[in-house]
Amino acid sequence: MTTYVTTPIYYVNAMPHLGHAYTTIVTDVYSRFKRLCGDNVRFQTGTDEHGEKIAEAAEKEGVSPREYVDKISRAFQDTWPLLSVSQDYTIRTTDPDHVETVQRILQQVYDQGDIYFSEYSGHYCKGCERFLTEKELVEGLCPDHQVAPQKRAEQNYFFRMSAYQQWLIDHIIANPKYITPERYRNEVLSFLSEPLEDLCISRPVSRLTWGIPLPFDERFVTYVWFDALINYLTGIGYPESPDFDTYWPAAEHVIAKDILKPHAIYWPTMIQAIGLPPYRRLHVHGYWNVDNTKMSKSIGNVVRPRELVDAYGVDTLRYFVLREMSFGLDSSFSTDAIIDRQNSDLANDLGNLFSRSLAMIRKYAGGSVPAAVPAAVTDDDRELVTAMEAMIASYEQQMNDFSFHKALQAVWEVISLMNRYIVTNAPWELARDEGNNERLATVLYSLAEGLRIITLVVQPIMPAAAEKMAAALGIAERVSQAELAKDGKWGGTKAGTELGPLPPLFPRIDNKQKTKKTPDSRQKETKKKKEKNAAANEGLISLEQVGQVELRVAQIKAAEKIAQSERLLKLKVLAPEERTIVAGIAQYYTAEEVVGNQVIIVANLKPAKLMGVLSEGMLLAAKEKDDNGKERLVLTTVAADVAPGSRVA
Ligand code: MSP
DSSP H helical ranges for 248-302? 260-261, 267-274
pLDDT tens string 503-556: 999 999 986 555 444 444 445 555 655 555 555 455 576 676 677 788 999 999
- Nearest ligand 1 atom to the CA of 258 is 17
CB atoms within 10 A of CB 630: 8
Angstrom distance (rounded) from CA 455 to CA 500: 14
pLDDT tens string 248-282: 999 999 999 999 999 999 999 999 999 999 999 99
pLDDT tens string 59-74: 999 999 999 999 999 9
Closest CA to 53 of 145, 132, 135, 115: 145
Catalytic residue list contains 98: no
Residue 405: Cβ-neighbour burial (10 angstroms; 0-12, 13-18, 19+): middle
DSSP-derived letter for residue 205 is T
Nearest CA to ligand 1 atom 6: 229
Catalytic residue list contains 37: no
pLDDT tens string 349-398: 999 999 999 999 999 999 999 999 999 999 999 999 999 999 999 999 99
Catalytic residue list contains 125: yes
Q: Which of 60, 135, 297, 514 is catalytic?
A: 297
Angstrom distance (rounded) from CA 117 to CA 92: 28
Angstrom distance (rounded) from CA 248 to CA 183: 26
Q: From ligand 1's centre to the CA of 560, what distance in Å?
A: 50
pTM equals 0.79
Residue 353: Cβ-neighbour burial (10 angstroms; 0-12, 13-18, 19+): buried
Q: What is the pLDDT of residue 128?
A: 85
Angstrom distance (rounded) from CA 473 to CA 486: 18
- Average pLDDT of span 311-327: 97
CA dihedral sign of residues 405, 410, 414, 416: positive
Confirm or reject: Cβ of 228 under 6 Å from ligand 1: yes
Q: Which of 34, 123, 128, 253 is catalytic?
A: 128
Q: From ligand 1's centre to the CA of 258, what distance in Å?
A: 7
Q: DSSP 3-state assignment of 327?
A: coil
CB atoms within 10 A of CB 557: 13
Q: From ligand 1's centre to the CA of 163, what distance in Å?
A: 28
pLDDT tens string 567-594: 899 999 988 888 999 999 998 888 888 8
Q: What is the pLDDT of residue 517?
A: 42
Confirm or reject: Cβ of 340 under 6 Å from ligand 1: no
Higher-confidence residue of 367 and 629: namely: 367
Closest CA to 155 of 116, 189, 181: 116
pLDDT tens string 604-624: 888 888 888 889 999 999 888
What is the Cα Rg of the chain in Å? Answer: 29
Nearest CA to ligand 1 atom 17: 256
CA dihedral sign of residues 308, 518, 538, 337: positive
Angstrom distance (rounded) from CA 126 to CA 223: 12
DSSP-derived letter for residue 238 is T
- DSSP symbols for 35-92: HHTT-EEEEEEEEE--SHHHHHHHHHHTS-HHHHHHHHHHHHHHHHHHTT---SEEEE
Catalytic residue list contains 405: no
Q: Which of 125, 283, 468, 570 is catalytic?
A: 125
Q: What is the pLDDT of residue 260?
A: 98
Report yes or no: 67 and 47 within 8 Å, Cβ to Cβ. no
Q: From ligand 1's centre to the CA of 5, what distance in Å?
A: 16
Q: At what angle do helices 65-82 and 305-312 cross, to 10 degrees?
A: 20
- Distances from the Cα of 371 to the Cα of 331, 359, 368, 416, 469, angstroms: 45, 17, 10, 24, 20
